[in-house]
């Protein structure tokens, strides 16, 4: 996910890497990832390499690949995203190449379950109109109560739970679409 200010740099190829604080959610080389920018999904990329290093080891090459002119600009931008970042903080330098950019950016909803309807509205309609398992009902009620997939995932134990939530949403959205209750 990228801030919309990086859209041009991404689409022109000036930005070929992203640097993130090293966490367990860093993609592996060879992974295909959807590129989100400014709230839209702009394409599909392949992760070509992931290198872990301390912030102090970042250089001008990484700055240029990130779309900055100097290492100092890069470090300042990283600190805006990660205020507690120190020179010894471990970061992942993630290189990627475009597989495909979308002519028309997609909303996350269109990408995730093929409908334009907001996930909270999908959950509300499914609770009202679909025959659900206990698990589906619990997840959909959590989405409605929390107001977003992200917040529901955090309540379930972490952002990695979004996969489970989206699976339920895709399933019920398909049923709602077949019934003519959503587009």
So what's the pLDDT on residue 113? 65
Contact 28, 94 (CB under 8 A): no
Mean pLDDT score, 92-119: 85
Q: In this predicted model, what pLDDT tens digit does every residue of 41-58 receive, in sequence order?
A: 999 999 999 999 999 999
Q: Using alpha carbons only, what angle is made at residue 157 by residues 146 and 52, rounded to the nearest 5 degrees?
A: 120
Q: What is the pLDDT of residue 23?
A: 77
* pLDDT given at position 24: 65
**Average confidence score pLDDT of the chain:** 91
Range 4-106: architecture per CATH: Roll (3.10)
Q: Where in the chain is the domain with CATH 3.10.400.10?
A: 4-106
Phi, psi of 38, rounded to the nearest 5 degrees: 60, 30
Nearest to 118, CA basis, from 86, 143, 155, 89: 143
Q: Give tens-digit pLDDT for 80-90.
A: 989 999 999 99
CB 16 within 8 A of CB 96: yes
Per-residue pLDDT tens for 14-50? Answer: 899 999 998 767 899 999 999 999 888 999 999 999 9
Half-sphere exposure of residue 97: CA atoms within 13 angstroms, side-chain side: 5
């Amino acid at each position: 996910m990228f801030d919309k200010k990086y859209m041009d740099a991404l689409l022109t190829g000036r930005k070929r890497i992203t640097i993130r604080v090293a966490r367990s959610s860093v993609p592996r080389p060879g992974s295909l990832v959807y590129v989100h920018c400014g709230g839209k999904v702009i394409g599909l990329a392949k992760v070509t390499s992931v290198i872990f290093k301390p912030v102090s080891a970042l250089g001008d090459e990484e700055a240029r690949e990130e779309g900055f002119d100097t290492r100092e600009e890069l470090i300042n931008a990283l600190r805006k995203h990660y205020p507690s970042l120190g020179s010894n903080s471990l970061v992942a330098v993630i290189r990627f190449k475009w597989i495909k950019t979308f002519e028309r950016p997609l909303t996350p909803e269109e990408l995730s379950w093929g409908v334009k309807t907001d996930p909270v509205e999908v959950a509300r309609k499914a609770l009202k109109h679909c025959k659900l398992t206990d698990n589906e009902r619990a997840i959909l009620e959590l989405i409605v109560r929390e107001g977003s997939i992200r917040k529901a995932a955090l309540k379930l134990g972490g952002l990695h739970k979004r996969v489970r939530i989206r699976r339920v949403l895709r399933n019920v959205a398909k049923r709602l679409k077949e019934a003519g209750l959503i587009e």
